[in-house]
Amino acid sequence: MSITTQSDARTPERVRSSRGASTAGPGRPRSGPPGRRDSRRPAGPRTAPAGLRRACPPAPHEWFAEQLLLTLSGRRPVHALLGHALPAAYDRLVELAPQAPLRPTGSGAGRRAPAPAVRHCGLCRPRPDVIEAFARIASGERLRALAFRLERGDDARWRCAALDIGPSSPVW
């Protein structure tokens, strides 16, 4: 025969402590009744104000497209990419930079041509540590193509391994 006392009938999840506070589970205080929401708090996830949010750093191929554009348009010296390019690609940059193939073209009548900008940047990943990328560079009404290859080294840094720019004369 089994005798059940009042203390045995209590459930183990909610046991009243000696101070009168209830606990949910072993040793964890409850914050309030289930389903209760504080009306003074906004609903949804907490986010920082727009001015305080950090922008995500650009993807490696987007960053390199911008840097190559600055160098090949004459707005940044070629040695700015010295640590970001492997020797063969750096030699190609040294060869192309004096010509400034992405320099804005004159728009006539003394007007200043708009600065070239990366309109679109795409990529292909033939291997996990390799990115083959292309960028469409817009300067006024002209579009140019820029292709480059990035390789991740043992130090986990991306470096430009090859570089090519589309033809400088009109194709049509």
pLDDT band at 40 (very low <50, low <70, confident <90, very high): confident
Q: Where residue 3 falls among pLDDT bands split at 50, 70, 90? A: low
Instruction: Give the pLDDT score at 170.
Output: 54
pLDDT at 172: 47
pLDDT at 8: 52
> Which SS3 state, helix, strand or coil, does residue 99 take?
helix
User: Is 68 exposed, middle or buried, given 0-12, 13-18 or 19+ CB atoms closer than 10 A?
Assistant: buried
Query: Angle at CA 66, nearest 5°, toward 82 and 79?
Result: 20
> pLDDT value at position 108?
62
Higher pLDDT, 125 or 23: 125
Please say if the pLDDT value at position 13 is more than 60: no
> Is a pLDDT exceeding 60 seen at residue 142?
yes
Residue 10's φ and ψ, nearest 5 degrees, are: -70, 145
pLDDT at 74 over 50: yes
Retrieve residue 113's tokens: 């041509």
Confidence at residue 62, expressed as pLDDT on a 0 to 100 scale: 97
Q: Which residues pair with 152 in a beta bridge?
A: 158
Strands 158-165 and 142-152: antiparallel
Q: What average pLDDT is seen over the chain?
A: 80
**Overall pTM > 0.85:** no
Q: Tell me the pLDDT band of 41, cut-offs 50, 70 and 90.
A: low
pLDDT computed for residue 122 by the predictor = 96
Q: Which residue, 99, 43, 109, is CA-closest to 72? A: 99
Asked which of 8-17, 114-123, 150-159 is least confident by mean pLDDT, the reply is 8-17
The confidence score (pLDDT) of residue 27 equals 63
